[in-house]
Amino acid sequence: MTGFDPIRSLANMRHEFGEHGGVNMSIETSTTFTVLDPATMPDIFSGRRGPETGGCFLYGRHFNPTVYALGRELAALEGSEFGYATASGLSAITCVLMQLVKTGEHIVSSHAIYGGTFALMKDFLPLRAGIETTFVDASDLAAVEAALTDRTRVLYVETLTNPTLTVPDLPALAELAHARGVKLVVDNTFAPLMVAPIQHGADVVVHSLTKFVSGASDIIAGSICGTQELIGDLMDLHGGALMLLGPTLDPRIAFQLSMRLPHLGLRVTEHSRRALFFAEQLDGLGLDVRYPGLPSHPHHERLARLRNPEFGWGGLLALDVGTEEKAYALMEALQNRDRFGYLAVSLGYHHTLMSCSASSTSSELSDADLSEAGISPGLIRFSIGYTGSLEQRWEQMEDALRATKLI
């Protein structure tokens, strides 16, 4: 706990009224903006005059007023100086890494990360950009320290790892990184509001807004929160990864995301309340469940120190039923027989989603990488939804467990 309250922080912001005084901000759809005084054009292009310094917006791939407003809201929720939104979570991650790390330089990353990020670091960046990554168990501080070299620029972790839900010791990692001039970059997709990594020493927070922030599995988007200098660098006309690689978020989509932020807290709290209930029930039946809200979880105490308790322990839980065959049978019964949820990847949706991590979202990992990350073939990741009554959902779960002889 840090005393930082994301809900207060968002409510304390200067409100962005609509163009005609509307309670909602306007959607600025224009891709280009009129310069009233031609003499200011060179200053606008050089970045000396922006929308808040006597100039104007420039072009839609650069800052857009609606996306800019969403960026300010996201920064308020993370307690960062500045924020901006992108067209996907992976583009936010790619741009941050390309901005902070040059050819010949180095990343140290947790080995338990989102499959796409893993493939980016393991396969794409070495081949296309000459950037190497050393993967470590980020809970092992000695291993992290040993992996840092003179060329390391970024230490990369996820707040809650996918899918085993371990928690890195953010303050300790920040200290290790900062002692060597390395930036700590944290993917906070699994723990929005619950954990505010910047408050624990992180330099940059990235999100896939596709998950809890969208909440409806209908939008792909991402975000970057950090210093004003970082966002300025990312948007630089000559050297900015956001400006030049161009993963621009559509302002219409930025508006939709902004309208979902006021109830993000309510949703996260309910996802968490239900996930804790399921974790306790499954644990009570003697099943192998991983949930950081259970005192038996190895990182329960650590998350207790880092989290904002109002938002619970998160909406994700993992259940290891031993084999892929049993996992498939359970998911099939849960979806097709009991209508408990959907067999689909992704998370943060209002309905429950479930998938077998080893053969889906973590399939970029080799068998050796999978076992090193503790992802067994029978591990099912659940993103617990909030539709239906909790009682009804638990009955469905028990029924499917019985039908597949797991209890």
Residues in contact with ligand PLP by the rule CB under 6 A: 88-90, 114, 116-117, 158, 162, 187, 189-190, 208, 210-211, 220, 222
Minimum Å distance from CB 258 to ligand PLP? 17
User: Toward ligand PLP, which CB reaches closer, 49 or 290?
Assistant: 290
Residue with smaller CB distance to ligand PLP, 205 or 400: 205
Residue whose C-alpha is closest to residue 206's, from 74, 81, 305, 103: 74
Which residue lies nearer to ligand PLP by CB, 257 or 400? 257
| Cβ pair 332, 343 in contact under 8 A | yes
CB of residue 203 vs ligand PLP: minimum separation in angstroms? Answer: 18
Contact of 173 with 144, CB cutoff 8 Å = yes
| Shortest CB 392 distance to ligand PLP, Å | 28
Min separation Cβ 218 and ligand PLP, Å? 12
| SS3 of residue 299 by DSSP | coil
Angstrom distance (rounded) from CA 348 to CA 342: 13
Q: Which residue is nearest to ligand PLP (CB)?
A: 89
Q: Give whole-number Cα distances, 330 to 18, 20, 121, 191, 284, in Å.
A: 49, 54, 33, 27, 18
Structure tokens at 119: 């493939």
Q: Say if CB 387 and CB 339 are below 8 A apart.
A: no
Q: How is residue 32 annotated by DSSP?
A: B
Calpha distance 122→364 (Å, rounded) = 10
Token digits of residue 18:
């609509």
Q: Let me know: does 112 contact 162? Beta carbons within 8 Å.
A: yes
Smallest separation (angstroms) from ligand PLP to the CB of 217: 11
Distance (Å, rounded) from C-alpha 281 to C-alpha 214? 28
Residue 5 Cβ vs ligand PLP, minimum distance, rounded to whole Å: 24
Which of 87, 294 has the CB closer to ligand PLP?
A: 87
CB of 189 to ligand PLP, least distance (A): 4
Minimal distance in Å, beta carbon 208 to ligand PLP? 3
Q: Which residue's CB is nearer to ligand PLP, number 64 or number 214?
A: 214
Nearer to ligand PLP, 235 or 249 (CB): 249
Minimum distance from residue 345 beta carbon to ligand PLP (Å): 8
Cα 353 to the chain's mean position, in Å? Answer: 17
Nearer to ligand PLP, 221 or 327 (CB): 221
Return the number of the residue (49 or 183) whose C-beta is nearest ligand PLP: 183
Report the C-alpha gap between 135 and 156 in whole angstroms.
9
Which of 359, 48, 91, 369 has its CA nearest to residue 234?
91
Residue where the block lists tokens 């493939």: 119
Minimum CB–partner distance for residue 355 and ligand PLP (Å): 12
Q: Degrees (nearest 5) of the Cα angle 212, 313, 286?
A: 115
CB 372 within 8 A of CB 166: no
With respect to ligand PLP, which residue has the nearer C-beta, 189 or 404? 189
Cα angle value 138/144/148 (rounded, 5°): 140
- DSSP letter at 110? E
Return the number of the residue (120 or 406) whose C-beta is nearest ligand PLP.
120
Alpha helices in 47-165 (DSSP H): 65-78, 89-100, 115-119, 125-129, 141-147
